[in-house]
Amino acid sequence: MSKEDIFVAAIDQGTSSSRFIIYNASAHLIGSHQVEFTQFYPQAGWVEHDPMEILESVKVCMAKAVDKTTADGFNVDKGLKAIGLTNQRETTLVWSKSTGVPLYNAIVWMDARTASVCRRLENELSGGKNHFVESCGLPISTYFSAVKLLWLMENVDAVKDAIKKKDALFGTIDTWLIWNLTGGVKGGLHVTDVSNASRTMLMNLKTLDWDASTLQTLKIPSEILPKIVSNSEIIGEIGAGWPISGVPISGCLGDQHAAMLGQSCLKGQAKSTYGTGAFILLNTGEGIVQSRHGLLSTIAFKLGPKAPTNYALEGSVAIAGAAVQWLRDGLGIISSAPDIEALALEVESTGGVYFVPAFNGLFAPWWRDDARGVCVGITRGTSKAHIARAVLESMCFQVKDVLDSMHKDAAGIESKKDFVLRVDGGATINSLLMQIQADLIGNPVIRPADIETTALGAAYAAGLAAGVWNEDFVFTTTEKLKDASIFRPTMAEEMRKKKVDSWCKAVSRTFGLDDLAL
Protein backbone atom coordinates (compact mmCIF):
# COMPACT_ATOMS: atom_id res chain seq x y z
CA MET A 1 0.00 0.00 0.00
CA SER A 2 1.43 3.40 -0.97
CA LYS A 3 1.76 6.31 1.44
CA GLU A 4 -1.12 8.08 -0.33
CA ASP A 5 -3.47 5.24 0.69
CA ILE A 6 -2.72 5.36 4.45
CA PHE A 7 -4.92 7.30 6.87
CA VAL A 8 -5.23 7.91 10.60
CA ALA A 9 -8.34 9.34 12.26
CA ALA A 10 -9.21 10.99 15.56
CA ILE A 11 -12.35 11.22 17.64
CA ASP A 12 -12.35 14.61 19.38
CA GLN A 13 -15.11 14.59 21.98
CA GLY A 14 -15.25 18.08 23.50
CA THR A 15 -17.38 19.95 25.99
CA SER A 16 -19.84 21.35 23.47
CA SER A 17 -19.33 19.24 20.35
CA SER A 18 -17.93 16.02 18.94
CA ARG A 19 -15.76 15.73 15.84
CA PHE A 20 -14.25 13.03 13.68
CA ILE A 21 -11.13 14.05 11.74
CA ILE A 22 -9.24 12.07 9.13
CA TYR A 23 -5.56 12.69 8.33
CA ASN A 24 -3.32 11.43 5.54
CA ALA A 25 0.13 9.94 6.08
CA SER A 26 1.64 13.45 6.14
CA ALA A 27 -0.69 14.35 9.04
CA HIS A 28 -2.65 16.77 6.88
CA LEU A 29 -6.39 16.95 7.48
CA ILE A 30 -8.39 15.57 4.55
CA GLY A 31 -11.88 15.50 6.03
CA SER A 32 -13.92 16.06 9.18
CA HIS A 33 -17.39 16.47 10.57
CA GLN A 34 -18.60 18.17 13.75
CA VAL A 35 -21.85 17.92 15.73
CA GLU A 36 -22.87 20.04 18.70
CA PHE A 37 -24.87 18.47 21.52
CA THR A 38 -27.10 19.66 24.34
CA GLN A 39 -25.85 21.37 27.49
CA PHE A 40 -28.11 20.81 30.52
CA TYR A 41 -28.19 23.25 33.46
CA PRO A 42 -30.59 21.67 36.01
CA GLN A 43 -29.65 24.15 38.76
CA ALA A 44 -27.36 27.12 39.21
CA GLY A 45 -23.77 25.87 38.92
CA TRP A 46 -24.80 22.44 37.61
CA VAL A 47 -23.77 21.29 34.11
CA GLU A 48 -24.66 17.91 32.60
CA HIS A 49 -24.46 15.99 29.33
CA ASP A 50 -26.55 13.10 28.05
CA PRO A 51 -24.04 10.24 27.49
CA MET A 52 -26.29 8.61 24.88
CA GLU A 53 -26.46 11.86 22.91
CA ILE A 54 -22.65 12.02 23.00
CA LEU A 55 -22.46 8.47 21.59
CA GLU A 56 -24.86 9.37 18.80
CA SER A 57 -22.93 12.55 17.99
CA VAL A 58 -19.70 10.54 17.60
CA LYS A 59 -21.45 7.98 15.38
CA VAL A 60 -22.86 10.70 13.10
CA CYS A 61 -19.47 12.42 12.87
CA MET A 62 -17.73 9.20 11.89
CA ALA A 63 -20.25 8.43 9.17
CA LYS A 64 -20.31 11.96 7.72
CA ALA A 65 -16.52 12.38 7.74
CA VAL A 66 -16.02 9.07 5.94
CA ASP A 67 -18.70 9.98 3.40
CA LYS A 68 -17.02 13.35 2.73
CA THR A 69 -13.54 11.90 2.26
CA THR A 70 -14.84 9.07 0.09
CA ALA A 71 -16.64 11.60 -2.11
CA ASP A 72 -13.33 13.45 -2.42
CA GLY A 73 -11.67 10.33 -3.80
CA PHE A 74 -9.95 8.96 -0.69
CA ASN A 75 -10.31 5.23 -0.02
CA VAL A 76 -10.58 5.60 3.75
CA ASP A 77 -12.52 2.37 4.21
CA LYS A 78 -9.48 0.33 3.14
CA GLY A 79 -6.65 2.65 4.17
CA LEU A 80 -7.62 3.64 7.72
CA LYS A 81 -4.88 2.17 9.94
CA ALA A 82 -5.65 3.59 13.38
CA ILE A 83 -8.02 5.78 15.38
CA GLY A 84 -7.05 8.02 18.27
CA LEU A 85 -9.40 9.39 20.88
CA THR A 86 -9.29 12.63 22.80
CA ASN A 87 -11.92 13.92 25.15
CA GLN A 88 -13.14 16.52 27.62
CA ARG A 89 -11.49 15.55 30.89
CA GLU A 90 -12.95 15.07 34.40
CA THR A 91 -16.53 14.75 33.10
CA THR A 92 -17.87 11.79 35.05
CA LEU A 93 -20.50 9.10 34.61
CA VAL A 94 -21.55 5.71 35.96
CA TRP A 95 -23.41 3.15 33.87
CA SER A 96 -24.79 -0.38 34.13
CA LYS A 97 -22.40 -3.13 33.06
CA SER A 98 -25.30 -5.43 32.14
CA THR A 99 -27.52 -3.01 30.21
CA GLY A 100 -25.08 -0.29 29.09
CA VAL A 101 -27.53 2.36 30.27
CA PRO A 102 -26.14 5.46 32.06
CA LEU A 103 -27.42 5.63 35.64
CA TYR A 104 -27.38 9.44 35.60
CA ASN A 105 -26.34 12.15 33.19
CA ALA A 106 -22.61 12.83 32.88
CA ILE A 107 -21.53 15.51 35.36
CA VAL A 108 -19.38 17.96 33.40
CA TRP A 109 -15.92 19.07 34.50
CA MET A 110 -17.02 22.66 35.24
CA ASP A 111 -20.00 21.57 37.37
CA ALA A 112 -19.85 23.05 40.91
CA ARG A 113 -22.48 20.97 42.75
CA THR A 114 -19.80 19.12 44.73
CA ALA A 115 -18.67 22.17 46.71
CA SER A 116 -20.22 20.76 49.90
CA VAL A 117 -18.49 17.40 49.33
CA CYS A 118 -15.18 19.22 48.98
CA ARG A 119 -15.72 21.24 52.18
CA ARG A 120 -16.57 18.06 54.07
CA LEU A 121 -13.43 16.30 52.89
CA GLU A 122 -11.27 19.33 53.67
CA ASN A 123 -12.64 19.41 57.22
CA GLU A 124 -12.31 15.65 57.78
CA LEU A 125 -8.88 14.99 56.29
CA SER A 126 -5.46 16.03 57.54
CA GLY A 127 -3.91 18.60 55.25
CA GLY A 128 -7.32 19.91 54.25
CA LYS A 129 -7.55 20.83 50.58
CA ASN A 130 -4.07 19.42 49.89
CA HIS A 131 -4.59 16.00 51.50
CA PHE A 132 -4.15 14.07 48.22
CA VAL A 133 -1.60 16.35 46.51
CA GLU A 134 1.42 14.18 47.26
CA SER A 135 -0.09 11.13 45.57
CA CYS A 136 -2.13 12.61 42.72
CA GLY A 137 -0.82 16.18 42.32
CA LEU A 138 -4.29 17.68 42.72
CA PRO A 139 -6.06 19.66 45.44
CA ILE A 140 -9.55 18.73 46.58
CA SER A 141 -11.75 20.64 44.14
CA THR A 142 -15.12 20.44 42.38
CA TYR A 143 -13.08 20.15 39.18
CA PHE A 144 -11.97 16.55 39.55
CA SER A 145 -13.79 13.28 38.90
CA ALA A 146 -13.48 11.68 42.34
CA VAL A 147 -15.74 14.19 44.07
CA LYS A 148 -18.28 13.94 41.24
CA LEU A 149 -18.26 10.16 41.70
CA LEU A 150 -18.79 10.60 45.45
CA TRP A 151 -21.78 12.85 44.75
CA LEU A 152 -23.27 10.19 42.45
CA MET A 153 -22.66 7.46 45.05
CA GLU A 154 -24.30 9.52 47.78
CA ASN A 155 -27.22 11.06 45.89
CA VAL A 156 -28.35 8.74 43.08
CA ASP A 157 -30.19 5.58 44.17
CA ALA A 158 -29.57 3.83 40.83
CA VAL A 159 -25.81 4.27 41.32
CA LYS A 160 -25.96 3.01 44.92
CA ASP A 161 -27.93 -0.07 43.87
CA ALA A 162 -25.70 -0.86 40.89
CA ILE A 163 -22.56 -0.68 43.02
CA LYS A 164 -24.15 -2.95 45.62
CA LYS A 165 -25.05 -5.46 42.86
CA LYS A 166 -21.57 -5.13 41.30
CA ASP A 167 -23.21 -3.89 38.09
CA ALA A 168 -21.66 -0.40 38.05
CA LEU A 169 -18.88 0.91 35.83
CA PHE A 170 -17.28 4.31 36.41
CA GLY A 171 -15.53 6.28 33.73
CA THR A 172 -14.68 9.58 32.19
CA ILE A 173 -15.81 10.19 28.62
CA ASP A 174 -12.86 8.33 27.08
CA THR A 175 -13.80 5.22 29.04
CA TRP A 176 -17.48 5.50 28.09
CA LEU A 177 -16.63 5.85 24.40
CA ILE A 178 -14.06 3.04 24.28
CA TRP A 179 -16.37 0.65 26.15
CA ASN A 180 -19.13 1.28 23.62
CA LEU A 181 -16.85 1.36 20.57
CA THR A 182 -15.35 -2.03 21.46
CA GLY A 183 -18.60 -3.86 22.08
CA GLY A 184 -20.44 -2.39 25.05
CA VAL A 185 -22.41 -5.07 26.87
CA LYS A 186 -20.94 -7.61 24.42
CA GLY A 187 -17.39 -7.51 25.74
CA GLY A 188 -16.60 -3.80 25.66
CA LEU A 189 -13.20 -2.87 27.10
CA HIS A 190 -13.29 -0.93 30.37
CA VAL A 191 -10.12 1.19 30.16
CA THR A 192 -8.81 4.71 30.57
CA ASP A 193 -5.43 6.24 29.82
CA VAL A 194 -2.85 7.73 32.18
CA SER A 195 -3.68 11.33 31.28
CA ASN A 196 -7.42 11.02 31.94
CA ALA A 197 -6.75 8.90 35.05
CA SER A 198 -4.43 11.61 36.36
CA ARG A 199 -7.40 13.99 36.46
CA THR A 200 -9.63 11.83 38.65
CA MET A 201 -7.75 12.52 41.93
CA LEU A 202 -7.51 8.73 42.28
CA MET A 203 -4.33 7.84 40.35
CA ASN A 204 -0.89 7.84 41.91
CA LEU A 205 1.37 9.94 39.69
CA LYS A 206 4.44 7.84 40.46
CA THR A 207 3.00 4.32 40.08
CA LEU A 208 0.48 5.25 37.34
CA ASP A 209 -2.08 3.05 39.04
CA TRP A 210 -5.13 3.65 41.22
CA ASP A 211 -3.97 4.72 44.67
CA ALA A 212 -5.19 2.15 47.22
CA SER A 213 -4.99 4.57 50.15
CA THR A 214 -7.09 7.18 48.33
CA LEU A 215 -9.72 4.62 47.37
CA GLN A 216 -9.91 3.44 50.96
CA THR A 217 -10.20 6.98 52.32
CA LEU A 218 -12.99 7.88 49.89
CA LYS A 219 -14.68 4.45 50.13
CA ILE A 220 -14.62 4.00 46.36
CA PRO A 221 -14.73 0.31 45.32
CA SER A 222 -11.84 -0.55 43.00
CA GLU A 223 -13.96 -2.94 40.90
CA ILE A 224 -15.89 -0.06 39.31
CA LEU A 225 -12.68 1.57 38.02
CA PRO A 226 -11.25 0.99 34.52
CA LYS A 227 -7.83 -0.43 33.70
CA ILE A 228 -5.18 2.27 33.10
CA VAL A 229 -3.18 2.12 29.84
CA SER A 230 -0.58 4.36 28.17
CA ASN A 231 -1.44 7.06 25.64
CA SER A 232 -0.11 5.16 22.64
CA GLU A 233 -0.80 1.43 22.33
CA ILE A 234 -3.27 -0.91 20.65
CA ILE A 235 -6.25 -0.85 23.02
CA GLY A 236 -8.83 -2.76 20.98
CA GLU A 237 -10.77 -2.75 17.73
CA ILE A 238 -13.97 -0.92 16.90
CA GLY A 239 -16.81 -3.39 16.90
CA ALA A 240 -19.89 -3.93 14.77
CA GLY A 241 -22.63 -1.31 14.65
CA TRP A 242 -20.33 1.65 14.01
CA PRO A 243 -19.73 3.35 10.64
CA ILE A 244 -16.16 2.03 10.83
CA SER A 245 -15.36 -1.40 12.27
CA GLY A 246 -12.27 -3.55 12.71
CA VAL A 247 -9.95 -0.55 12.98
CA PRO A 248 -7.72 -0.44 16.08
CA ILE A 249 -8.11 2.27 18.69
CA SER A 250 -4.42 2.89 19.38
CA GLY A 251 -4.25 6.29 21.03
CA CYS A 252 -6.10 7.94 23.89
CA LEU A 253 -5.39 11.22 25.68
CA GLY A 254 -7.32 13.85 27.57
CA ASP A 255 -7.82 16.87 25.36
CA GLN A 256 -5.14 19.09 26.91
CA HIS A 257 -2.51 16.35 26.83
CA ALA A 258 -3.41 15.65 23.21
CA ALA A 259 -2.93 19.34 22.41
CA MET A 260 0.52 19.18 24.02
CA LEU A 261 1.45 16.30 21.77
CA GLY A 262 -0.10 18.02 18.76
CA GLN A 263 2.07 21.07 19.55
CA SER A 264 5.14 18.80 19.87
CA CYS A 265 5.91 20.16 23.35
CA LEU A 266 9.15 18.79 24.74
CA LYS A 267 10.63 19.50 28.17
CA GLY A 268 10.52 23.21 28.98
CA GLN A 269 7.90 24.03 26.33
CA ALA A 270 4.34 25.16 27.03
CA LYS A 271 1.05 25.47 25.21
CA SER A 272 -2.28 27.15 25.90
CA THR A 273 -5.51 25.81 24.44
CA TYR A 274 -8.43 28.23 24.16
CA GLY A 275 -11.77 26.48 24.07
CA THR A 276 -14.70 26.53 26.49
CA GLY A 277 -12.01 27.04 29.11
CA ALA A 278 -8.31 27.72 28.72
CA PHE A 279 -5.70 25.15 29.64
CA ILE A 280 -2.00 25.86 29.97
CA LEU A 281 0.50 23.00 30.29
CA LEU A 282 4.28 23.06 30.62
CA ASN A 283 6.21 19.85 29.95
CA THR A 284 8.51 19.27 32.95
CA GLY A 285 10.15 16.15 31.50
CA GLU A 286 10.43 12.91 33.47
CA GLY A 287 10.30 14.64 36.85
CA ILE A 288 7.20 15.55 38.85
CA VAL A 289 7.25 19.21 39.88
CA GLN A 290 5.07 20.01 42.90
CA SER A 291 3.69 23.51 42.55
CA ARG A 292 3.93 26.08 45.31
CA HIS A 293 1.86 28.60 43.39
CA GLY A 294 -1.55 27.05 42.79
CA LEU A 295 -0.82 24.83 39.79
CA LEU A 296 -1.43 21.13 39.27
CA SER A 297 1.11 18.35 38.79
CA THR A 298 -0.14 16.03 36.09
CA ILE A 299 0.82 13.74 33.22
CA ALA A 300 1.97 15.23 29.93
CA PHE A 301 1.99 11.97 27.97
CA LYS A 302 3.36 8.41 27.96
CA LEU A 303 3.85 7.22 24.40
CA GLY A 304 3.76 3.47 24.95
CA PRO A 305 3.55 0.93 27.80
CA LYS A 306 7.34 0.91 28.23
CA ALA A 307 7.97 4.52 27.21
CA PRO A 308 9.14 7.12 29.76
CA THR A 309 6.46 9.23 31.38
CA ASN A 310 6.54 12.95 30.67
CA TYR A 311 4.97 15.06 33.41
CA ALA A 312 3.58 18.58 33.31
CA LEU A 313 2.53 21.56 35.34
CA GLU A 314 -0.98 22.69 34.48
CA GLY A 315 -3.15 25.67 35.13
CA SER A 316 -6.80 25.44 34.13
CA VAL A 317 -9.09 28.39 33.45
CA ALA A 318 -12.75 27.43 33.79
CA ILE A 319 -14.26 30.10 31.56
CA ALA A 320 -12.58 31.37 28.40
CA GLY A 321 -14.52 30.89 25.16
CA ALA A 322 -17.60 30.18 27.28
CA ALA A 323 -17.62 33.89 28.18
CA VAL A 324 -17.92 34.73 24.47
CA GLN A 325 -20.80 32.24 24.21
CA TRP A 326 -22.41 34.02 27.15
CA LEU A 327 -22.17 37.37 25.36
CA ARG A 328 -23.89 35.72 22.39
CA ASP A 329 -26.51 33.54 24.08
CA GLY A 330 -27.02 35.24 27.43
CA LEU A 331 -26.78 38.94 26.60
CA GLY A 332 -27.28 39.00 22.82
CA ILE A 333 -24.41 41.48 22.43
CA ILE A 334 -23.08 39.50 19.45
CA SER A 335 -24.87 37.19 17.05
CA SER A 336 -21.97 34.78 16.53
CA ALA A 337 -18.72 34.13 18.42
CA PRO A 338 -16.41 35.49 15.66
CA ASP A 339 -18.27 38.83 15.82
CA ILE A 340 -16.53 39.70 19.08
CA GLU A 341 -13.26 40.61 17.34
CA ALA A 342 -14.77 43.30 15.11
CA LEU A 343 -16.84 44.66 17.99
CA ALA A 344 -13.83 44.84 20.33
CA LEU A 345 -11.79 46.59 17.63
CA GLU A 346 -14.27 49.48 17.65
CA VAL A 347 -12.48 50.77 20.77
CA GLU A 348 -8.77 51.06 21.56
CA SER A 349 -9.12 49.97 25.18
CA THR A 350 -11.70 48.67 27.64
CA GLY A 351 -12.19 52.19 29.04
CA GLY A 352 -11.25 50.95 32.50
CA VAL A 353 -13.70 48.02 32.44
CA TYR A 354 -12.52 44.66 33.85
CA PHE A 355 -14.58 41.51 33.47
CA VAL A 356 -13.86 38.42 35.58
CA PRO A 357 -15.84 35.37 34.32
CA ALA A 358 -15.97 33.45 37.60
CA PHE A 359 -19.34 31.95 36.67
CA ASN A 360 -18.76 28.76 38.67
CA GLY A 361 -15.75 29.83 40.71
CA LEU A 362 -12.10 30.29 39.78
CA PHE A 363 -9.55 27.56 39.03
CA ALA A 364 -5.75 28.01 38.97
CA PRO A 365 -4.01 29.74 40.55
CA TRP A 366 -6.82 31.07 42.78
CA TRP A 367 -8.88 27.92 43.52
CA ARG A 368 -11.93 29.80 44.82
CA ASP A 369 -15.21 27.97 44.30
CA ASP A 370 -16.94 30.78 46.24
CA ALA A 371 -16.10 33.28 43.47
CA ARG A 372 -18.73 34.55 41.04
CA GLY A 373 -18.44 36.73 37.95
CA VAL A 374 -18.10 40.50 38.13
CA CYS A 375 -17.81 43.39 35.69
CA VAL A 376 -16.21 46.45 37.30
CA GLY A 377 -15.24 49.95 36.19
CA ILE A 378 -18.48 50.62 34.31
CA THR A 379 -19.36 54.25 33.60
CA ARG A 380 -22.02 56.01 31.50
CA GLY A 381 -19.49 55.95 28.68
CA THR A 382 -19.18 52.16 28.72
CA SER A 383 -20.40 50.53 25.51
CA LYS A 384 -20.88 46.94 24.41
CA ALA A 385 -17.56 47.29 22.54
CA HIS A 386 -15.76 48.02 25.82
CA ILE A 387 -17.38 44.98 27.42
CA ALA A 388 -16.48 42.80 24.43
CA ARG A 389 -12.85 43.90 24.68
CA ALA A 390 -12.89 43.32 28.45
CA VAL A 391 -14.10 39.76 27.84
CA LEU A 392 -11.18 39.11 25.49
CA GLU A 393 -8.76 40.62 27.99
CA SER A 394 -10.20 38.43 30.76
CA MET A 395 -9.19 35.30 28.85
CA CYS A 396 -5.64 36.61 28.46
CA PHE A 397 -5.32 37.85 32.05
CA GLN A 398 -6.30 34.42 33.34
CA VAL A 399 -3.70 32.73 31.13
CA LYS A 400 -1.09 35.24 32.35
CA ASP A 401 -1.96 34.42 35.98
CA VAL A 402 -1.20 30.77 35.27
CA LEU A 403 1.99 31.48 33.33
CA ASP A 404 3.32 33.71 36.10
CA SER A 405 2.90 30.80 38.51
CA MET A 406 4.55 28.42 36.05
CA HIS A 407 7.61 30.63 35.69
CA LYS A 408 8.02 30.56 39.48
CA ASP A 409 7.53 26.81 39.83
CA ALA A 410 9.58 25.79 36.79
CA ALA A 411 12.62 28.00 37.27
CA GLY A 412 15.49 26.02 35.82
CA ILE A 413 13.24 24.04 33.47
CA GLU A 414 12.31 26.94 31.23
CA SER A 415 13.51 30.51 30.81
CA LYS A 416 11.07 33.41 31.18
CA LYS A 417 13.30 35.52 28.96
CA ASP A 418 13.28 33.05 26.05
CA PHE A 419 9.75 31.82 26.65
CA VAL A 420 7.39 31.36 23.70
CA LEU A 421 3.75 30.40 24.19
CA ARG A 422 2.29 27.92 21.69
CA VAL A 423 -1.46 28.39 21.26
CA ASP A 424 -4.27 26.37 19.75
CA GLY A 425 -8.03 25.94 19.91
CA GLY A 426 -10.95 27.57 18.15
CA ALA A 427 -10.67 30.97 19.83
CA THR A 428 -7.11 31.50 18.56
CA ILE A 429 -8.46 32.40 15.13
CA ASN A 430 -9.13 35.78 16.80
CA SER A 431 -5.94 37.73 16.04
CA LEU A 432 -6.85 40.55 18.43
CA LEU A 433 -7.07 38.00 21.25
CA MET A 434 -3.64 36.66 20.36
CA GLN A 435 -2.08 40.14 20.26
CA ILE A 436 -3.62 40.99 23.64
CA GLN A 437 -2.17 37.74 24.98
CA ALA A 438 1.34 38.57 23.73
CA ASP A 439 1.08 42.09 25.17
CA LEU A 440 -0.04 40.92 28.61
CA ILE A 441 2.55 38.15 29.03
CA GLY A 442 5.38 40.13 27.44
CA ASN A 443 6.47 37.14 25.31
CA PRO A 444 5.83 35.99 21.74
CA VAL A 445 2.77 33.88 20.95
CA ILE A 446 2.95 31.32 18.12
CA ARG A 447 -0.26 30.19 16.41
CA PRO A 448 0.21 27.19 14.07
CA ALA A 449 -1.51 27.03 10.70
CA ASP A 450 -3.61 24.12 12.01
CA ILE A 451 -5.12 25.39 15.27
CA GLU A 452 -6.94 22.13 16.03
CA THR A 453 -3.93 20.44 17.58
CA THR A 454 -6.02 18.45 20.08
CA ALA A 455 -7.29 16.11 17.37
CA LEU A 456 -3.85 16.06 15.75
CA GLY A 457 -2.26 14.92 19.03
CA ALA A 458 -4.73 12.03 19.31
CA ALA A 459 -3.94 11.06 15.73
CA TYR A 460 -0.20 11.22 16.46
CA ALA A 461 -0.59 8.86 19.44
CA ALA A 462 -2.63 6.41 17.37
CA GLY A 463 -0.28 6.59 14.40
CA LEU A 464 2.77 6.01 16.59
CA ALA A 465 1.31 2.81 18.04
CA ALA A 466 0.23 1.59 14.61
CA GLY A 467 3.64 2.23 13.05
CA VAL A 468 2.40 4.92 10.68
CA TRP A 469 4.74 7.55 12.20
CA ASN A 470 7.76 7.67 14.50
CA GLU A 471 8.66 10.16 17.21
CA ASP A 472 11.06 12.07 14.95
CA PHE A 473 8.10 12.86 12.71
CA VAL A 474 5.90 13.93 15.63
CA PHE A 475 8.46 16.14 17.37
CA THR A 476 10.04 17.77 14.31
CA THR A 477 8.44 21.20 14.37
CA THR A 478 10.15 22.98 11.47
CA GLU A 479 7.50 22.01 8.93
CA LYS A 480 4.63 22.80 11.32
CA LEU A 481 5.91 26.28 12.12
CA LYS A 482 6.50 27.20 8.47
CA ASP A 483 3.06 28.79 8.11
CA ALA A 484 2.63 29.80 11.76
CA SER A 485 1.62 33.32 12.85
CA ILE A 486 3.81 35.00 15.45
CA PHE A 487 2.40 37.75 17.70
CA ARG A 488 5.05 39.85 19.43
CA PRO A 489 4.40 42.07 22.48
CA THR A 490 4.14 45.82 21.85
CA MET A 491 2.85 47.02 25.23
CA ALA A 492 5.17 49.02 27.48
CA GLU A 493 6.13 47.28 30.74
CA GLU A 494 4.71 50.13 32.85
CA MET A 495 1.29 49.85 31.20
CA ARG A 496 1.37 46.03 31.52
CA LYS A 497 2.04 46.27 35.25
CA LYS A 498 -0.72 48.83 35.75
CA LYS A 499 -3.29 46.70 33.94
CA VAL A 500 -2.27 43.57 35.86
CA ASP A 501 -2.65 45.40 39.19
CA SER A 502 -6.15 46.51 38.18
CA TRP A 503 -7.03 42.98 37.08
CA CYS A 504 -5.98 41.57 40.45
CA LYS A 505 -8.22 44.10 42.22
CA ALA A 506 -11.12 43.01 40.04
CA VAL A 507 -10.45 39.33 40.80
CA SER A 508 -10.51 40.06 44.53
CA ARG A 509 -14.04 41.46 44.13
CA THR A 510 -15.31 38.03 43.04
CA PHE A 511 -14.53 36.22 46.30
CA GLY A 512 -17.34 35.15 48.62
CA LEU A 513 -20.17 35.90 46.21
CA ASP A 514 -21.54 32.36 45.97
CA ASP A 515 -24.27 32.99 48.56
CA LEU A 516 -25.89 35.92 46.74
CA ALA A 517 -28.46 33.80 44.85
CA LEU A 518 -31.98 34.06 46.23
Judged against a pLDDT cut of 60, whether residue 1 lies above it is answered with no
pLDDT score recorded for residue 478: 58
Specify the CATH number for 3-255; select among 3.40.920.10, 3.30.420.40, 1.20.1250.20, 3.30.200.20.
3.30.420.40
Distances (CA, A) of 217 to 202, 206, 211, 212, 502: 11, 19, 10, 9, 42
- Tell me what the mean pLDDT of segment 337-353 comes to: 95
Cis, bond preceding 489 (omega within 30 deg of 0): no
pLDDT score recorded for residue 410: 83
DSSP states of 292-326: SSS-EEEEEEE-STTSPEEEEEEEEES-SHHHHHH
Tens of pLDDT along 221-236?
999 999 999 999 999 9
Tens of pLDDT along 5-47?
899 999 999 998 999 999 999 898 999 999 999 999 999 889 9
Q: pTM of the predicted model, to two decimals?
A: 0.87
Confirm whether 3-255 and 321-401+493-508 share one CATH topology: yes
Distance separating alpha carbons of residues 426 and 259, to the nearest angstrom: 12
Distance separating alpha carbons of residues 130 and 135, to the nearest angstrom: 10
Neighbouring C-alpha atoms within 13 Å toward the C-beta of 59? 13
- Tell me what the mean pLDDT of segment 196-212 comes to: 96
Identify the weakest region by mean pLDDT among 168-177, 319-328, 433-442. 319-328
pLDDT score recorded for residue 235: 97
Domain ranges for the chain, please list them: 3-255, 321-401+493-508
CATH (residue range 321-401+493-508): 3.30.420.40
pLDDT score recorded for residue 3: 66
444, 420 in Cβ contact below 8 A?
yes
